[in-house]
Chain A
């Protein structure tokens, strides 16, 4: 197999002078290609947003095909469900079970909301309006080969989506928008190792950060260290700190207790989600932070290490804990 054909590369250097020159040029070009790659890589590692425009353009081009694929995924599943329902009434059971699961999460969310409301009313006497979603979109793909966890959704600038907006499904938070194209956007999933969401226990005020572990689960890190109060089965919801995510959206379920928190299962498994809602950024101050990433970076440069998990004083509802969007 793999007979080296008479093509000039491989084997010994050809006797012909021109062929030898061609071979040399080939190596030169390949080496230059590798160097170009290394240079671009360094640029994009230092400035993750550098090539966002190029990527968004590419996503826009491929999005229609992806959307058809996603519709196919939903369609085939519906067909299969119909067949399953025809053969056994058990499929109805499955549906009810799903509803119960949603209801359970909703209940936890509602309880959290109730608390939140009570507290807000008590403290501020603030009447909070319902947040209205910006757009509904399909999850059309994810970076399933890379170590990073991004997803693509079928809504973009045309639909009013902007970077930083939270993305959620009926079961809970999915992630946040990172780059926006004309009709498709890239979402940083919660399970990405660069994603960090401030959360609190649904039943009380145990605050923590939920970090992605890039294997499908989250790592909860308590902010107030001490005796670990988390028990397996605790539901965690967004706390609203940082101003990006509206408080009270379900995030994760603790399954395994660790020294400084817990390992948690994501509540809204993106694999089981078809349609997601893009919501506006909760607090406008957060928008300001997103729109001035240079400023944040400059600050981070001044105080390296300060910007990361940093055990920020929990009760102050300050804007900051979220690191600038990475990719």
Chain B
């Protein structure tokens, strides 16, 4: 006789009997994680030059790649606004760039509905390049060669960090879909 399989009623997100997804987690985790990513300037790091990757933006495109359709197309407006409040960029640059990035990914999705992570990574690298260059252009400071040179290490760091961010978003996605005990 077969032993009773204790895991028969489980999947990757936990037991299924009497449990369900929590709407707060399902819809809250992506927004909250991107907003926390936008709070990078409040890390106790006083940088002499732009060094840290733009985490809010990276989390946004990572969520968009991992779960298409989870974030509405207009998500760039509120999330960009939140990013602008802290990033030091003039207000509006985040709104504009976040919205354009979401539209660009939408276009990419239409052109390549089936992709591997490699293509996602290349797309993310391209988006990051455009985002950092545009952010430097729109920063309101007179543009010098030094400024463009300074963003190169930041860009390389961001591109290298993207797979890690994507993996983190994968983990957050598991948290998002975790089944919780149903009350009542």
Contacts and interface: CB of A to CB of B under 8 A. Distances in A.
Given A7-B69, A37-B97, 5 more contacts: A1-B65, A62-B86, A69-B42, A144-B52, A193-B141
A69 B54 contact: no
Contacts of A140: 42, 44
B44 A33 contact: no
Interface stretch (B5-13, B19-27, B100-108, B171-179): B100-108
B165 interface: no
Nearest to B74: A29
Interface in A173-224: 191-194, 213-216
A73 B37 CA distance: 19
B125 to A, nearest CB: 16
Contacts, number: 236
A152 interface: yes
B57 to A, nearest CB: 9
A40 B47 CA distance: 27
A159 B28 CA distance: 36
A260 to B, nearest CB: 15
Contacts of A50: 91
A4 B68 contact: yes
Contacts of B139: 146-148
A310 interface: no
B89 interface: yes
B59 interface: no
Interface stretch (A51-59, A160-168, A239-247, A251-259): A51-59
Nearest to B69: A7
Interface of A: 1-2, 4-5, 7-12, 26-27, 29-34, 36-45, 48, 50-51, 54-55, 58-59, 62, 65-66, 69-70, 72-73, 139-152, 191-194, 213-216, 266, 269-271, 273, 326-327
Interface in B119-159: 120, 135-136, 138-142, 144, 146-147, 149-151, 154
B41 A152 contact: yes
B69 A39 contact: no
Given A4-B69, A9-B68, A55-B91, A147 B99 contact: no
B183 interface: no
The A interface, classified by DSSP as helix, strand, loop or mixed, is mixed
Contacts of A48: 90, 140
A2 B72 contact: no
Interface of B: 39-55, 65-70, 72-74, 76-77, 80, 85-100, 102-103, 106, 109-110, 113, 115-117, 120, 135-136, 138-142, 144, 146-147, 149-151, 154
Given A11-B109, A27-B73, A141-B43, A34 B149 contact: no
Contacts of A72: 44
Given A45-B140, A147-B147, A193-B141, A142 B46 contact: yes
Interface centre among B85, B94, B103, B106 (most CB of A within 10 A): B85
B146 A215 contact: yes
Nearest to A11: B113
Contact of B90 (A36, A45, A149): A45
B45 A148 contact: no
Nearest to A5: B69
Nearest to A7: B69
Contacts of A273: 46
